[in-house]
């Protein structure tokens, strides 16, 4: 599997205030979207997330988001090493994703830019 990059997940109470900080630190402009009841801003290598604690508590269990060339290839490799596929592969507005628990217990989200839902919310 080709891992193209990693995004760090940060849960914040005030998304707008956090965006200002992370835009300044990274020099990147935020890209905002919704994931259910959670507001998300991608800023450089960070995913800032704000919303109901019940949903954030689930998202905090995911260590990082890994960009991959192909989620299907990631699925095959993850299955081969004994990972537990928790969710997906599922289409998102920018591609597909899956969430997997590695044999060591670490949980990661894998995303690609293939086959995204046109016009849907993340």
Please report, for the chain, the start and end positions of each structural domain, with discontinuous segments joined by +: 3-111
**Averaged pLDDT for residues 70-78:** 96
* Degrees to nearest 5, angle at CA 7 with 99 and 38: 65
pLDDT number for residue 95: 81
Q: Residues 85-97: pLDDT tens digits? A: 999 899 876 789 9
Residue 119 has pLDDT above 90, yes or no: no
Mean local confidence (pLDDT), 77-90: 96
Integer Cα distance of 46 and 42 in angstroms: 6
- Residue 118 above 50 pLDDT? no
For the domain spanning 3-111, the CATH number is 3.10.180.10
């Amino acid at each position: 599997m080709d891992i193209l990059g990693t995004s760090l997940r940060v849960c914040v109470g005030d998304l707008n205030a956090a965006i200002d900080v992370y835009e300044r630190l990274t020099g990147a402009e935020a890209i905002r979207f919704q994931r259910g009841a959670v507001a998300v801003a991608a800023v450089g290598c960070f995913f800032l997330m704000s919303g109901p604690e019940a949903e954030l508590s689930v998202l905090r269990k995911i260590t990082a988001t890994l960009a991959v060339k192909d989620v299907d290839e990631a699925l095959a490799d993850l299955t081969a090493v004994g990972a537990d596929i928790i969710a997906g592969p599922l289409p998102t507005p920018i591609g597909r994703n899956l969430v997997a628990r590695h044999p060591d217990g670490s949980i990661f989200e894998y995303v690609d830019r293939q086959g995204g839902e046109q016009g849907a919310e993340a």
